[in-house]
């Protein structure tokens, strides 16, 4: 009988975690697509605008994955991306109760979906943030990278993380 009561108590918390992850996905997707649209409308491909210090804005068409890896990979890039998203979602489904797991899940999913939207609609991803000696990147890339780092922290900290 205690199991039924525990399930009833954990169900709203589980739903809240899904809602939090969904809000993060939405926020990342909106920020990513808005910044890319702004860049596409104001910077010609190959053009560079110095911002401050070493930071510049560019308009680069990335046909690969991170840093142009697998450039021209087409279908393989799509399949690998969808497989990674499916694995992350499956993990979240099984472990949504883990403290703060919703945050890295939302960041990675939002970033991946943002870049996937570009691939489907344009055939490439728009990258625009550039530092010398480093490939250009975008908001989605930052969220994926930060999300993976946060996922490692959440998994390493286990149930010891404070707050939810």
50 carries an active-site annotation: no
The DSSP secondary-structure symbol of 97 reads: T
Q: Look-up: residue for tokens 């497989």? A: 83
* Core vs surface per residue 64-93: b (16+ CB within 10 A) or e: bbeeeeeeeeeeebeeebeeeeeebeeebe
Active-site residue identified among 32, 44, 127, 164: 127
65 Cβ contact partners less than 8 Å away, ≥ 6 residues apart: 73, 77, 80, 81
141 carries an active-site annotation: yes
Give the CA angle between residues 35, 39, 42 to the nearest 5°: 135
| Crossing angle of the two packed helices 2-42 and 102-122, in degrees rounded to 10 | 40
Active-site residue identified among 32, 44, 118, 141: 141
Question: Catalytic residue positions?
Answer: 127, 141
């Amino acid at each position: 009988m205690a199991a039924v009561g525990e399930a009833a108590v954990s169900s709203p918390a589980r739903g809240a975690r899904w809602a939090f992850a969904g809000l993060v996905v939405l926020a990342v997707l909106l920020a990513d697509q808005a910044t890319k649209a702004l860049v596409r409308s104001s910077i010609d491909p190959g053009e560079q605008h110095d911002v401050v210090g070493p930071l510049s804005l560019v308009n680069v068409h990335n046909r690969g994955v991170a840093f142009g890896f697998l450039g021209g990979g087409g279908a393989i890039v799509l399949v690998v991306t969808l497989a990674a998203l499916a694995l992350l979602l499956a993990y979240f489904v099984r472990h949504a109760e883990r403290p703060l797991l919703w945050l890295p899940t939302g960041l990675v999913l939002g970033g991946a979906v943002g870049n996937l939207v570009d691939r489907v609609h344009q055939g490439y991803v728009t990258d625009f943030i550039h530092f010398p000696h480093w490939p250009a990147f975008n908001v989605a890339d930052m969220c994926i990278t930060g999300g993976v780092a946060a996922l490692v922290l959440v998994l390493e900290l286990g149930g010891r993380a404070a707050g939810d």
